[in-house]
Amino acid sequence: MRNIISIIGSLLIIALAGCKSHTQVDMIFYNATIYSVDSAFSKHAAMAVKDGKIAAVGTTAKIFELYDAPEKIDLQGKTLLPGLYDAHTHFYYYALGLREVDLTGTRSFNEVIQRVQEFSTTSKSLWIKGRGWDQNDWKVKDFPTKDSLDKLFPDRPVLLSRVDGHAALANQKALDLAGITAANKIEGGVFEIITKNGKQTLTGMLIDNAVNEVSKYIPDPSVSERFDALMTAQKNCFEVGLTSVADAGLSKKIVEFLDSLQTSGKLKMKLHLMLSADQDNLKHYLKSGPIIKENLSVRAFKVYADGALGSRGACLLKPYQDKKNEAGFLLSHPDSLRAVAQKIARSPFQMNTHCIGDSANRFILDLYHEVLGNDRHRRWRIEHAQVIDESDFKKFALNKIIPSVQPTHATSDMYWVYDRIGKERTKNAYALKKLIEHAGMIAGGSDFPVEGINPFRGIYAAVTRQDLRRIPAGGFESQNKISREQAIRAFTSWAAYAGFEEKMRGSLEVGKAADFIIIDKDIMNCNEYDIPYIKVLKTFSDGKQVF
């Protein structure tokens, strides 16, 4: 009986194959669980791909009735999603960071020193760069000082950035090369000093704008070093299912480098590049206009309003809970932020402003409204939108401002954020659900390398508001949990919309790019604690397998 059925089946396939009405495509995936992430979040079983684009989605029977392909892949029930999109990364600096000593997860400053020592024996470059320490993870929660680095590395400059990039520890050699003394002052930043034997001395800690005063002396890596780093970064991203990323805050030189690698076909990661809003970039790009290509766009400026909560650089309406005389500060004078916003408003560019504190968020939301008037089509964004005053949420709707948020920031910061800003303000911090209610969407991101690159960790954090140890029970400020569908949209269609790319990608619909991933679990129905461990089995970009 079985044989007869299979013979009939084969005959049927032969008959269908001979049928002239079949449209030839390149690939057919069938017997799958496909979440297309279209407006209805519809589910399909089969998909046809041709010339790097989605040709059709539908039932397996329907797709085989209409299409034929040299490659037919039986997914045996596996799940297929659009390629994931991280709406706020530092992809380029993540790549370069792969050449630095990784200090994330260190449990003490001693461990930092150990890792730096080990790294220093293998690294050939003069400067030792590190990144990722967080004094909140240590027993001693004070900022470290440079003393032990000075002893170990008297002749080699060392610069170790804090996890948020808004503070760094430099040794004496690095400070000397940068010409920094205890007398130096800088607007929007601090060179930390202590009094030692009646003399003011630098501790080596640099806050906000002070970091750049040292880091700018680090020589750039060569073209081939940068190329190798980017290829590794891209490979790492494809392995976790990312096919598009937004890169927040780049110079013209880096933009041109990334553009050239993509034009030559070597770099396949799709990029929404945000320009640093410095005078050079503003002058050049406001005149020359946006660059919009199929897989790369340069149509946004990344502006900084304030710093980060971890280093108390976030600009708050009321003082910090754990430092009653400090409320943070804006990184630039309000008038200069206004001048930048006015310039960008008169151009076709998008303005994406880093705002952490409730005061920074309020100032920028009001400024956006002031310069945009009633325009609701500019898709201007607030990057992070971390602490929002209750009365300010409604302002997102006025100009349809998009909050670009990082769900893992909530579960990384939750251990100390109550100490920093208290219970009341924390209720409206990392407020994913409330932001969606007011803005209609959020763009999902990780801010990597501040967090890890794996977007499934972000989806998990958004859905559970718990860390990987399932802490806290019930979830951190659980009123701001969002649904799996919303979390997937944040990392696909909403992220694409926030980059003006929703017609090209972000969902599996006819005519859009065949950017998709095959994963080992049904993300909509698996146990929520399995979400962070979902494995990407294959990644496709423009219909070509890239992992």
Residue ranges in contact with Zn ion by CB under 5 A: 248, 447
Token readout for 312 is 């108390």
Smallest distance from Zn ion to CB 64, Å? 46
Q: Please give the distance of CA 412 from its chain centroid, rounded to a whole number.
A: 15
Smallest distance from Zn ion to CB 172, Å? 29
CB closer to Zn ion out of 408 and 507:
408
Token readout for 70 is 């040299």
- 184 sits in the region (left: phi over 0; alpha: psi -120 to 50; else beta) called beta
> Are residues 46 and 68 in contact, defined by beta-carbon separation less than 8 angstroms?
no
CB closer to Zn ion out of 44 and 302:
302
The total number of residues shown for the chain amounts to 547
Q: HSE, CB side, 13 Å, CA atoms: give it for residue 121.
A: 5
- 328 sits in the region (left: phi over 0; alpha: psi -120 to 50; else beta) called left
Smallest distance from Zn ion to CB 343, Å? 22
Q: Is the CA virtual torsion 174, 180, 186, 192 positive or negative?
A: positive
Closest-CA residue to 66 (of 132, 117, 19) = 19
CB closer to Zn ion out of 60 and 352:
352
CB closer to Zn ion out of 447 and 477:
447
CB closer to Zn ion out of 362 and 384:
384
Token readout for 486 is 């919303």
CB closer to Zn ion out of 175 and 405:
405
Residue type, 65: E
CB closer to Zn ion out of 426 and 446:
446
When CB distances to Zn ion are compared, the closest residue is 447
Smallest distance from Zn ion to CB 94, Å? 11
Give 105-166 as a 3 state SS string: CCCCHHHHHHHHHHHHHHCCCCCEEEEEECHHHCCCCCCCCCHHHHHHCCCCCEEEEECCCC
Smallest distance from Zn ion to CB 161, Å? 13
Contact partners, residue 424, CB within 8 Å, separation at least 6: none
> Are residues 484 and 447 in contact, defined by beta-carbon separation less than 8 angstroms?
no
CB closer to Zn ion out of 248 and 435:
248
